[in-house]
Amino acid sequence: MLENNVEIKSSSELLKIVQELKNDGYRYATMICLKANDGHELIYVLDKNYVLKTLRYFVKPSEKPKSMSGIYLCALLIENEYQDLFGLTFEGLAIDFKGHLYLTPNSPKTPLA
Amino acid sequence: MTTVIPFGPQHPVLPEPVQLKLELDNDVVVGALPSLGYVHRGLEKFIDTKDYNQTLYICERICGICSAIHSITYARGVEQLMNVEIPERAEYLRVIWSELARVQSHLLWLGLFADGFGFESLFMECWKYREAVMDIMEMTTGNRVITSMCKVGGTTKDLSKEHIDIILKAIDNLEPQVENLEKVFVNNYTVKKRLVGLGVLSKQLAYDVGAVGPTLRGSGVHSDIRESPSWSIYKDLNFKAVIENDGDCYARTKVRIYELYECFKLIRNAISKLPAGEISIPVKGSPAAGAEAISRAEQPRGEVVYYVKGNGTKNLERLKIRTPTFANIPALLQMLPGIKLADVPVVVLTVDPCISCTER
């Protein structure tokens, strides 16, 4: 289990906590996506003074997770990556490559899904 | 009225393919959009078929320039998963090879950067000095680039007394050569004219957009993973992060120049404190199902983040890698608006873009 891990139940709670952490001086390090049951698990990794905080959120099948790019602009690349590789659709992405950040129309679809 | 022109994917200053769609008002950039995918290799998927030992060799092939620290960061992640404590000598050996890798990477970048702003003889000078480090890599590991000196549980190679003497002598020769380079990069009127005040990234913006490495430290943010508690060995070696405050191309260049001296100090200190003993321990078994770990290290381009998750077999359930250039692209997009098209190559180079890392 990761240190400083917080389970988040709803997307509105997730947005609220991420905004609070940003206000508290946390830097967006990355986001990890895992397959979990029929859905996906997202782990948001934030850093402050070399200490990581991880927020874990379960994305139900067919749910469209909210984009963090409105809070942390840098989230847009990793969210686009997961649209390519896992077939997720993030709502409110600042720049949406629509599944073609890395993959071309002839590439294998959602290779990590 | 604005015009959109492509910068890349093939461009003289880009060692690897990436495209920026630049929106221009006359010759001033008003917006930029990245276009990736030219070297995506699907390595996070590829490791499905590899066990955790083989995966290390995939990780060090993510990038040629920072391959040593990729393998070390991965190995540390798996060692965390499996509660493995490596011998102290291996920790020191990893630091020595990491810092040698940083020296060759920074010298490579300084050369490319000099070439980027039209100073070809300076480019050749930087790469000539870099050869000394590449020779050390070859002598001590058998390879110049993909060194394979690291493994889960320690290192595969040791340094003999003869190796250590050669390394120390090479560093003694290299340090005055870097001082000569510093005179040009830091003091030369023409170089300063080209770099000062260009591509400014403020301290707050650098932090907010998640910049890392010299890009972040050049904007005055004190952040270097080598100072974190997880890398206590660097504290023992008297490591001090290099910070510059102006946030422009000149500041990012100075960070890399001064970091070279820090590398020399770290290598000397690590050699002077290098303990005797084993270089690895045997690692048996597999990462437990559900066990997960995050491992971070300071690459030449900035912080790299590895996430590893076990599933009870020799194969990993998931490997996720966030590389420094991936984190620096949003910062680059913030630096470009307001500068002239002719300055774009110089600004792009100051984040030391590594596209193979970014796309994996």
pLDDT digits (tens, 9 = 90+) for B94-121: 999 999 999 999 999 999 999 988 888 9
Strand partners, A51: A48
Q: Does A93 touch chain B (CB under 8 A)?
A: no
The tally of CA atoms less than 13 A away on the side-chain side of residue B120 is: 1
For residue B127, pLDDT over 90 is answered with yes
d(CA B38, CA A102): 7
Closest CA–CA distance from residue B179 to any residue of chain A (Å): 32
In chain A, which residue's Cα lies nearest the Cα of B47? A112
Condensed to tens digits (0 to 9), the pLDDT of residues B260-285 reads: 999 999 999 999 999 999 999 999 99
Residues 6+ away with beta carbon under 8 Å from B151: B53, B56, B75, B280
pLDDT value of residue B70: 94
- B63-77, B218-232, B346-360: the lowest-pLDDT one: B346-360
**Per-residue DSSP letter, B341:** G
d(CA B326, CA B209): 11
Q: Hey, what CATH topology would domain B3-359 get?
A: Cytochrome-c3 Hydrogenase; chain B (1.10.645)
Cβ contact, residue pair A2, B292, below 8 Å: yes
Beta strands, E only, B174-301: 292-299
Closest CA–CA distance from residue B308 to any residue of chain A (Å): 10
Domain ranges of chain B: 3-359
d(CA B184, CA B205): 29
- Confidence band for A62, pLDDT divided at 50, 70 and 90: confident
For residue A3, pLDDT over 80 is answered with no
B260's tokens: 């070279």
B245's tokens: 């405050």
The b-or-e profile of A68-105 (16+ CB within 10 A means b, else e) is bbebbbbbbbbbbbbbbbbebbbeebbebbebbbbbee
Report, as an integer, the average pLDDT of B284-291. 91
In chain B, which residue's Cα lies nearest the Cα of A46? B210
Cβ contact, residue pair A73, B305, below 8 Å: no
Q: Which domains are present in chain A?
A: 5-66 (3.30.360)
Q: Does A109 touch chain B (CB under 8 A)?
A: no
- Confidence band for B14, pLDDT divided at 50, 70 and 90: confident
Mean of per-residue pLDDT scores for chain B: 92
- Confidence band for B64, pLDDT divided at 50, 70 and 90: confident
Q: Which amino acid is at B285?
A: G
Closest CA–CA distance from residue A10 to any residue of chain B (Å): 23
In chain B, which residue's Cα lies nearest the Cα of A108? B42
Residues in A touching B319 (Cβ below 8 Å): none
Q: Does B226 touch chain A (CB under 8 A)?
A: no
Question: Which positions 27-86 of A are in contact with B (Cβ < 8 Å)?
Answer: 27-30, 32-34, 43, 45, 50, 52, 54, 72-74, 76-78, 85
For residue A97, pLDDT over 90 is answered with no
Per-position DSSP letters for B53-91, written without gaps between them: HHHHHHHTTS-STTHHHHHHHHHHHHHHHTT----HHHH
pLDDT value of residue B309: 94
- Confidence band for B56, pLDDT divided at 50, 70 and 90: very high
- Confidence band for B19, pLDDT divided at 50, 70 and 90: confident
Residue A3 and residue A52 in contact, taking contact as beta carbons nearer than 8 Å: yes
**Per-residue DSSP letter, B303:** E
Closest CA–CA distance from residue A50 to any residue of chain B (Å): 6
